[in-house]
Amino acid sequence: MPARGTPTVVRAGVPVAVALLLAVLVALPLLRLVQVLWQESDGDLAGILGSPGLSTAVRHTVVLAVAVTVTAVPIGITLALVLRRPDLPGRAFWRVAVLLPVVVPDFVLGYSWTQAYARAGFTDTLLGLHWDGLLGPVGVWLVLVVNAAPLAYLVVAVGLAARSEPDLERAARASGAGSFTVLFTITLRLLLPAVAAASVLVFVLTLGTFAIPQVLGAPAGFGTVTTRIYADLSIGGDPASFLEAVTLALLLVLVAVVCVAPGDALLGPHLRSARPADAQGTQTVPGRQAVRRGQAVGLGGYLLLTMVVPLAALALSSVTRALGVPPTPGNWTLDHFRQVLTVRTVEALGRSVGLAVAAASLLVLLGGLVAVGERRRAGRATATLITLTLVLPGSTLAVALLITYGRWLSGTLTLILLAYLAKLWAFAHRPIAGALDRLPPDELRAARASGAGLLTAVRTVALRPLAPALLGAWLICFVTALHEVTMSSLLYGPGSETLAVVVLNSQELGRIGPTAALSVVLTLLVAAPAFVLWMVVGRLRVAHDGPHAEVARVG
């Protein structure tokens, strides 16, 4: 085992730093919550846990998380595998298009679906078709799946990019396995770390998700733990409600521990193995052009139903004068954009972008740190730990940080940044770890032996193969931080208003027009750099292991 780790590369500094950050970002805030609960409940947790409807909410939450995971992850894998084929017609376009749901805030996504498919929505107006089930558990599940699938795709795709070893699949084909058998016996097994990473992220994210169950679940009386937490914080303001909210949040953490920790402990050591030094290339075996075309059509249909129609409905409501009037040119207006694009919002936008960039960059760094550390036994516990703050609903995490650091940092951007780091650490870590775990240690050692310092070695040798994973992780963190509403609206102070705060404060979420306009602005704002980034990633990947490398190797 030690021969396969990176002991010569990673010095004591990294574990120390990681332990320190873990304490600051995860352990202390969680412990403070536990302490508050312990002191104020007088040990009477039974009363809170026995409250009516709680078991239903917990069941809803867990079933929902499982259902979303087992649907979104296969969709993500399918997208990653289909989009991997260089001969897919319009591949570059699809690769960007499937990421669209990531750049739309989830509360907007939920709304856009009702606008598209609910009674009096887009399809109802045009075709007389609407879907009542949208406002209920099935609708919550479906929209969460659509929301999570791009994340799963991204995690799996970066794993695939970092570990594509076509010879392993070729060997299976040449051993008599058909493409489906290869998929299940080889490809997916090799992807297991990335798939596990994606599953954990989607599962935990769904456990802690709030906006979509709130928007779509409430009409059917479908409550989850997070909607209960929201209700507890919203009503009363009394210590009992607050304690219940804290208890429920810690319950979520417990559920996450129970579900994630065994996976991390079992899968971790099982999956490591050294990658052959010159594994590269993306295409294993040519497929049929008709199949590719069919896949392109399938992709198009999926995107049309899950993204294009809802987003078109959203874009229309951003330019339509009022809700409920036909979105025809006569009713078009730019008022919503004027309301959103004021001097204050632009200022706040600058602050939000700065925060998101800082958070994403630090997170990628942190993610890399832990991913490097994870090759050791202790690192796996770290991976589990940082997932715990992801499951905490934003409101509770913000409260935990405020209780822990509020004396010194209340109202500062630093506290908001800490909140982002704590919330999104796992987002950065898991994709990077999924990609890194088969980077051969010899490559780093060779760089060190060639006179490179640790950082130079990482930069020159590890960065290139990891670039897709790093950029992917950066992108997820950036977009999520930019959209973040709950934590910043709870933590801000004078001079640290984020975009979400400014817009929320003047509009609340009930006013859909300005919110839609804001989403359109944000979407464009994120989509443009994202597109550029993705192109860069694509170029990097081609340069790294594309057809030219293939030609050089073959022969």
Partner 1 sequence: MSAEPVLEIADLVVEYDGTTALRGVSLAVGAGEVLALLGPSGSGKSTLLHAVAGFLEPRSGTIRLSGTTVTGDGRPVPPERRELAVVFQNYALWPHLSALDTVAYPLRRRGARRAQARTEALAIMQRLRVDHLAARRPAELSGGEQQRVGLARALARRPSVYLFDEPTAHLDTHVRAAFLEELVARQRDSGAAAVYATHDAEEALGLADRVALLREGRLLQVGTPQEVYDEPVDLFAARLTGPASVIDGGRLLVRPGWARLGGPLEAELRAVWFRGPHSDYLVDSPRGEVLIRESGPPRHTVGARVHWTLAHRWPLPGSPSDSSSP
Partner 2 sequence: MTTESAGEPASGSLGRRPSTSLALTAVLVLALSACGGNSSGSESDGGQSQALTLYTCVNDTTVQPVIAAFEKAESGSRVELFRAPTGELNARVAADARSGGLRADVVWGCDPLTMQAFVDQGLVGGWTPPGADAVPDEFRTDDYVGAHVLYMVAVHRTDAPAPRVWSDLAGPGYAALAVPDPSVAASALGTLGYFAQDPGYGVDYYRSLKANGAVQVSTPDDVTTGVAQGIYDAGITTASSAYAAKDDGSPVEVVWPEPGAIAIYGPIALATHSADSEVAKAFISFVVSKEGQTVLGGAGSYPTLPGVDGPTVPAGAPVVSPDWAAIGADKAAVLAEYQQVFGG
Q: Does 248 bind partner 2 (CB under 8 A)?
A: no
Instruction: Give the SS3 label for residue 373.
Output: helix
CA-to-CA distance for 119 and 123, rounded, in angstroms? 9
Of the candidates 157, 371, 512, 517, which one interacts with partner 2 according to CB under 8 A?
512
For residue 157, the minimal CB distance to partner 1 (Å) is 20
CA-to-CA distance for 474 and 468, rounded, in angstroms? 10
Strand ranges in 338-459 using DSSP code E only, listed in sequence order: none
Greatest Cα pair distance in the chain: 75
Cβ neighbour number for residue 84 with a 10 Å cutoff: 19
- Residues in 133-192 at the binding interface with partner 2, rule: CB under 8 A: 135
Q: Map residues 250-289 to x or -, x wherever contact with partner 2 holds by CB under 8 A.
A: ----------------------------------------
| Segment near partner 1 (CB under 8 A); pick from 76-84, 272-280, 349-357, 490-498 | 272-280
Instruction: Give me 117's structure tokens.
Output: 């498919």
- Residues in 46-105 at the binding interface with partner 2, rule: CB under 8 A: 52-53, 56-57
Cβ–Cβ under 8 Å, residues 315 and 100: no
Of the candidates 274, 305, 346, 449, which one interacts with partner 1 according to CB under 8 A?
274
From the list partner 2, partner 1, none, pick the one residue 173 interacts with, judged by a Cβ distance below 5 to 8 Å according to partner type. Answer: partner 1
Instruction: Give me 282's structure tokens.
Output: 């993306």
Q: Map residues 275-294 to x or -, x wherever contact with partner 1 holds by CB under 8 A.
A: -x-xx---xxxx-x------
Q: Measured from the CB atom, is 459 or 548 closer to partner 1?
A: 548
Q: Does 543 bind partner 1 (CB under 8 A)?
A: no
Cβ–Cβ under 8 Å, residues 407 and 224: no
Q: Does 352 bind partner 2 (CB under 8 A)?
A: no
Q: Measured from the CB atom, is 266 or 334 closer to partner 1?
A: 266
Instruction: Give me 461's structure tokens.
Output: 């040798």
Cβ–Cβ under 8 Å, residues 384 and 257: yes
Q: Does 172 bind partner 1 (CB under 8 A)?
A: yes
Q: Does 376 bind partner 2 (CB under 8 A)?
A: no
202 burial (CB, 10 Å; 0-12 / 13-18 / 19+) is: buried
Instruction: Give me 46's structure tokens.
Output: 């039974």
Q: Does 553 bind partner 1 (CB under 8 A)?
A: yes
| Segment near partner 2 (CB under 8 A); pick from 277-285, 399-407, 423-431, 434-442 | 399-407
Instruction: Name which of 353, 372, 481 is nearest 421 in CA terms.
Output: 481
Of the candidates 280, 389, 404, 523, which one interacts with partner 2 according to CB under 8 A?
404
Q: Name the amino acid, one letter, at 15.
A: P
CA-to-CA distance for 93 and 531, rounded, in angstroms? 10
- Contacts (Cβ under 8 Å, ≥6 apart) of 531: 96
| Segment near partner 2 (CB under 8 A); pick from 172-180, 182-190, 213-221, 474-482 | 213-221
Of the candidates 55, 185, 331, 414, which one interacts with partner 1 according to CB under 8 A?
185
Q: Measured from the CB atom, is 97 or 291 closer to partner 1?
A: 291
CA-to-CA distance for 97 and 527, rounded, in angstroms? 10
From the list partner 2, partner 1, none, pick the one residue 172 interacts with, judged by a Cβ distance below 5 to 8 Å according to partner type. Answer: partner 1
Q: Does 16 bind partner 2 (CB under 8 A)?
A: yes
Q: Is 90 left (phi over 0), alpha (psi -120 to 50) or beta?
A: left
Q: Measured from the CB atom, is 111 or 153 closer to partner 2?
A: 111
**Under the rule (CB under 8 A), what is the footprint of partner 1?**
4, 165-168, 170-179, 181, 185-186, 189-190, 192, 271-274, 276, 278-279, 283-286, 288, 547-548, 550-555
